[in-house]
Amino acid sequence: GAVVSQHPSWVICKSGTSVKIECRSLDFQATTMFWYRQFPKQSLMLMATSNEGSKATYEQGVEKDKFLINHASLTLSTLTVTSAHPEDSSFYICSVKGRSNTEAFFGQGTRLTVV
């Protein structure tokens, strides 16, 4: 399978600050990238889908001004959590898909803790 690198693996930030999470596709061109959020012992909740060079499409209930997604190249997408609050603490996972791929490949996830 494809190699997807997500960085950082964990981050602790102060309430009110912003934090950026990177998702890199290391060995193929990711035309589509997905960002998920996973609460403890729950399933993955899709937050947004981004295509290279286009604005991200956000799922209902996800604040696009709070969760900024940039997909500037075929190998990199970033998720920025702006003005973070403790309720934003969660596990964030990216996944990538190439145009010719049937399945998506996942990064190792980022645990965000807002204190």
61 lines the binding site for another protein (CB under 8 A): no
Per 3-state DSSP, the chain is made up of helix, strand and coil in percentages (nearest 5) of 5, 50, 45
Among 34, 35, 58, 67, binds another protein (CB under 8 A): 34
Measured distance CA(10)–CA(66) in Å, rounded: 19
Among 49, 75, 77, 90, binds another protein (CB under 8 A): 49
73 lines the binding site for another protein (CB under 8 A): no
91 lines the binding site for another protein (CB under 8 A): yes
35 phi-psi bin (left φ>0, alpha ψ -120 to 50, beta other):
beta
* Binding footprint of another protein on the chain (CB under 8 A): 1, 32, 34, 38, 42-44, 46, 49, 91, 93, 95, 97, 102-109, 111
